[in-house]
Amino acid sequence: MTDLVDSMLDLMRRLPPTRVEENVAALVNICPDYADDLLGSVDQPLTLKTDRATGREYLACDYNRDGESYRSPWSNEYDPPLDDGTVPTPKLRQLEIKANEAFDTYREMYFEGGVSSVFLWDLDDGGFAGVVLFKKSLSPSATTEPSGSWDSIHVFEAAERGRQAHYKLTSTIMLELVTRSASSSSSNAEKQDNGNGKEGTKTSGDVSLSGSMTRQTEQDCPVQNQESHVTNMGRMIEEMEIKMRNLLQEVYFGKTRDVVYDLRSVESLERQRRQRELQKELVGFMKR
């Protein structure tokens, strides 16, 4: 019944992104049989964990989960510990270590903070797949300061074909921005001079922009050695994040704002209508 999963995914595309965790949990409760399908196809905000062995932070998601435990990319250990937890083959683990180092450099250069994690796994057909994760949050020092978070989830598959490799990349970026405001204008009250010592206009509120966007791409790249996979994926992910950052900028600060102006106009529409009428009259007058 793929139909049912389609309905669940359509629903998740409509409900508020700020409540994705709560809603996914509710759907899993309604249809426990489809839990894996749902958890595998709906991206949820990444959670921060601390590696017990190294004390270093890493990111947890469905891709490094085994049962109730999560694997750290730094120590390769599961938390809570698992005796038989799935780990990459030694060769792939070597690549995973190099990828974690490289994408940690990338993280520092673009995010100047935050946490990154890379997880790889072997595929049955001889290739491998992986996920590259970044998360950065801004916690405001005051309630009126803006807060926000950025979560990147780049899932890829690599298939070697001789001296080439074919890569498939699916990237999701979750972005949340919140601004709170509060003001009270006493000057207004003075101007109004209502004489009964009442306070002026008071306002408070918040603006929240949140959501996620997903894009896919495929590419063939030359492979000299194992490390080529890291440089190839690095370039692809960098290219994709640059493209998606522009897209997010356009949708978050362009499209949604345009819709607000489609609802209400700051300028008087009546005045605009009159101006158009006047213009028409003038054109008609000049034609005569």
**Which range, of 57-65, 155-163, 206-214, 278-286, touches other proteins by CB under 8 A?**
206-214
Binding mask 236-275 for other proteins (x = CB under 8 A): --x--xx--x--xx-xxx-xxx-xx-xxxxx-xxxx----
Q: Rounded to the nearest whole angstrom, what is the least distance from the CB of residue 81 to other proteins in the complex?
A: 29
Q: Rounded to the nearest whole angstrom, what is the least distance from the CB of residue 24 to other proteins in the complex?
A: 12
Residues 76-95 that bind other proteins (CB under 8 A): none
By beta-carbon proximity to other proteins, the closer residue of 64 and 100 is: 100
Length of the chain: 288
**Which range, of 63-71, 79-87, 115-123, 187-195, touches other proteins by CB under 8 A?**
187-195
Q: Rounded to the nearest whole angstrom, what is the least distance from the CB of residue 235 to other proteins in the complex?
A: 6
Residue 156: φ, ψ to 5°? -135, 160
| Torsion of Cα atoms, 123 then 107 then 60 then 131, to 10° | -20
88: tokens are 């990459």
155: tokens are 């899932």
Q: Beta partners for 219?
A: 167
CA 82 from centroid of its chain's CA atoms: 30
**Residue 261 exposed, middle or buried by CB count within 10 Å (0-12, 13-18, 19+):** exposed
Q: Rounded to the nearest whole angstrom, what is the least distance from the CB of residue 260 to other proteins in the complex?
A: 6
Among 51, 129, 66, smallest CA distance to 92 is for 129
**Of 48, 53, 207, 282, which lies in the binding site for other proteins, with binding defined by CB under 8 A?**
207
By beta-carbon proximity to other proteins, the closer residue of 41 and 86 is: 41
Residues 36-65 that bind other proteins (CB under 8 A): none
**Of 209, 217, 219, 221, which lies in the binding site for other proteins, with binding defined by CB under 8 A?**
209
CB neighbourhood size of 114 (10 A): 20
Packing angle, helices 20-30 and 2-14, rounded to 10: 160
Residue 288 lies near other proteins (rule: CB under 8 A): no
Residue 276 lies near other proteins (rule: CB under 8 A): no
By beta-carbon proximity to other proteins, the closer residue of 131 and 230 is: 230
3-state secondary structure string across 10-35 = HHHHHCCHHHHHHHHHHHHHHCHHHH
Residue 12 lies near other proteins (rule: CB under 8 A): yes
Residue 74 lies near other proteins (rule: CB under 8 A): no
**Of 91, 161, 235, 280, which lies in the binding site for other proteins, with binding defined by CB under 8 A?**
235
Residues 107-166 that bind other proteins (CB under 8 A): 109-112, 136, 138, 146-150
**Residue 94 exposed, middle or buried by CB count within 10 Å (0-12, 13-18, 19+):** middle
